Amino acid sequence: MALLEAKNVNVVYKVKEKEIKAVRNVSLDVEVQDSIGIVGESGSGKSTLAMAILQLLPNKIAKTTGEIVFDGVDLLKISENELREIRWKDIAVVFQKSMNSLSPVHKIGYQMGDIYRVHEPNATDKEVKERVLELFRLVNLADRVYDLYPHELSGGMMQRVSIALSLIYYPRLLIMDEATTALDVVTQGQILEEIMRLEEKLHLTRMMITHDVSVVSSTCKKVAVMYAGCLLESGYVSDVLTNPKHPYTQGLLSSFPSLTGERNELRGIPGSLPDLSVAHKGCVFADRCKKATDICFVKEPRTVKFPNSWNVSCHLIGGEDCDQLD
């Protein structure tokens, strides 16, 4: 059984008179100990999907429908109290600037201890400190960080503290939303390597939200490609990023330096994301797709399933009316 199953998830933001369809009909399975990268350009709905999984979107501005089943429980059907039990303990998240939520006037160790006590109210001071230091070691932080204030940390140390905090209850699913994007490549590489080691040790399942395909290719087993709120292609990194089937994935990959070291010309994808508040017909990518044919503008593509959990939503791939693209 999958640890997380998203079925036909839709998220609509209500802004003034407009309805922005930020996530559209997304279905995705995440198995235990998977590491899955959610990639796509800015505004494609990656963070919204993560926030929907965590049920952190305020009801007033966003409506989520479909099913988000975590360990057999549909997160859209349970109470806020039940969700609070699951968040952090079972599903934790690290954002790009998670540290901003810490108080600037208290030392790191003290604040982490406080957070640990939320679910472990009976822990002694000694146990709490031991747990915090154990987490520091897991993410390669020196013990002295315990007595530092947030402003005394470098960017890399801050993100390590954020990751340590997210792991405080040893969650089963860790969502990293651009968690290392702002760091220099060396620090980013070190932290990602540590995360991969932790995964083995703690049997973590990781969902990694990023616009950086190379991060996914080097740290994830699976990948899901989003565009304008839709999931266009998903499967194993070794399939999807080596031999992409969807024209959007192909375009995304040719906008990045080669993952295998060959020197290829970099090409962007001309055009921009469609207006998500306007109803569209056909495939969301059709307007920018060099290979689009008539059907792409009038009919929404269905998801075509290939062996090895490889799913592609494109009329041109094994679709009813067209030939294979590749």
Ligand X SMILES: Nc1ncnc2c1ncn2[C@@H]1O[C@H](COP(=O)(O)OP(=O)(O)OP(=O)(O)O)[C@@H](O)[C@H]1O
Where do contacts with ligand X occur on this chain (CB under 6 A)?
13, 15, 20, 22, 40, 42-48, 61, 211, 276
Q: Closest distance between ligand X and the C-beta of residue 148, in Å?
A: 29
Q: Which of 87/211 has CB closer to ligand X?
A: 211
Q: Closest distance between ligand X and the C-beta of residue 231, in Å?
A: 12
CB 62 within 8 A of CB 246: no
Q: Could you give the strand order of the β-sheet that contains 73-74, starting from the edge strand earlier in sequence?
A: 18-30, 4-15, 62-70, 73-74
Q: Which of 45/109 has CB closer to ligand X?
A: 45
What is the distance between the alpha carbons of residues 201 and 166, in angstroms, rounded to a whole number? Answer: 15
Q: What is the DSSP string of 21-58?
A: EEEEEEEEEE-TT-EEEEE-STTSSHHHHHHHHTT-S-
Q: Which of 66/113 has CB closer to ligand X?
A: 66
Which strand (E) or helix (H) includes residue 85?
Answer: helix 80-86
Q: Closest distance between ligand X and the C-beta of residue 97, in Å?
A: 12
Q: Which of 165/276 has CB closer to ligand X?
A: 276
Q: Which of 157/183 has CB closer to ligand X?
A: 183
Q: Which amino acid is at 80?
A: E
Residue 198 phi, psi (nearest 5): -60, -35
Name 39's Cβ contacts closer than 8 Å, sequence gap at least 6: 46, 210, 211, 212, 213, 216, 223, 224, 225, 226, 252
Q: Closest distance between ligand X and the C-beta of residue 38, in Å?
A: 8
Q: Closest distance between ligand X and the C-beta of residue 52, in Å?
A: 9
The angle formed by the CA atoms of residues 139, 45 and 60, to the nearest 5 degrees, is 100
The angle formed by the CA atoms of residues 51, 189 and 145, to the nearest 5 degrees, is 80
CA 144 to each of CA 122, 128, 137, 163, 297: distance values in angstroms, whole numbers, following the listed order: 25, 16, 11, 17, 59
Q: Which of 139/231 has CB closer to ligand X?
A: 231
Q: Which of 61/118 has CB closer to ligand X?
A: 61
Q: Which of 264/272 has CB closer to ligand X?
A: 272
Q: Closest distance between ligand X and the C-beta of residue 150, in Å?
A: 23
Q: Closest distance between ligand X and the C-beta of residue 49, in Å?
A: 7
Q: Where are the alpha helices (DSSP H) in 139-212?
A: 155-166, 185-202
CB 57 within 8 A of CB 22: no
Q: Which of 46/129 has CB closer to ligand X?
A: 46
CB 94 within 8 A of CB 163: yes
Q: Closest distance between ligand X and the C-beta of residue 14, in Å?
A: 8
Give 101's DSSP letter: G
Q: Closest distance between ligand X and the C-beta of residue 36, in Å?
A: 15
